[in-house]
Amino acid sequence: MSFVGKRLLVTGSSRGIGRGIALKLAEEGARVAVHYYQNEPAANETLARVRALGSDGFIVQADIAQADDIRHLFRTVEAQFGGLDIFVSNARPELPAFFYPPMEITLAQWDTAVDSQARAFLIAAQQAASMMPDGGRIVAVTYGAGSRTGGLQPWVGMGAGKAAMESLVRYFAVALAGRGITVNAISPSWIEDSVLNSLPAEAQDLIRNWHGAGWTPMCRLGTPEDIGKAVALICSEDAGWITGQVIYADGGASLMNAEVPPEIQLG
């Protein structure tokens, strides 16, 4: 597939999953607006790697929990690129800003989680669509398991925000279908170099060992490169008939039965 000439914005692309997406599409020719919130050196590193792949772009700072910052972000992209072909909503706050269980989370922490996902996607999708030619692509990075379960208690704010964002994906898909703009969500499982690395080392080891033993049928965690490839597929010309979907890119983890040990399921 080729994205030569395409103009791409990925929020939260200074590192992790967002960087993986930016680099994959840059490898295929896209010019990239690298968004960051606080870590400017990391954003510059992503841009340097984009350029090493033979593409180009620029960095832009914004707090995606703030409506005015989101609008400024898109004005900057329009000034630099003259429009936009692909928008990927990936950014999220750091864990300490929202990672509290239902009986402890404050309204401020709740607002941080929900505003950075549902409200940010609402505003950003409106802005992106107004700048896109027909046939553009909008992608939300979600966490489908966290939006439909309740076991990971401190994820309550982010789970609610992601669930609302997934609903918005469907509504925007219908609203923009007449222009050939597709709107989809990609749902990773646990990914290296992402939120996983914010957890204590003991928790990281437990998760890696658990999935390596079979809770992910492919017996490994995903990588930012894996998610970059999934986003590239859904943004390709050949994916123009796919819209309004939550697509699990998780090595089969979502197929497992939580009530049965993997040793039995995998035979």
Q: Mind listing the pLDDT tens digit for each residue in 81-96?
A: 999 999 999 999 988 9
Where does residue 215 rank: exposed (0-12), middle (13-18), buried (19+ CB within 10 A)?
A: buried
User: In this structure, what token pair is assigned to residue 11?
Assistant: 């929020």
Contact 14, 34 (CB under 8 A): yes
DSSP at 33: E
pLDDT for 267 beyond 80: no
Q: How does strand 137-141 pair with strand 31-36?
A: unpaired
Model confidence pLDDT, tens digit, residues 137-187: 999 999 978 788 898 899 999 999 999 999 999 999 999 999 999 999 999
Q: Could you give the domains of the chain?
A: 7-249 (3.40.50.720)
Contact 64, 91 (CB under 8 A): yes
pLDDT for 1 beyond 90: no
Contact 141, 186 (CB under 8 A): yes
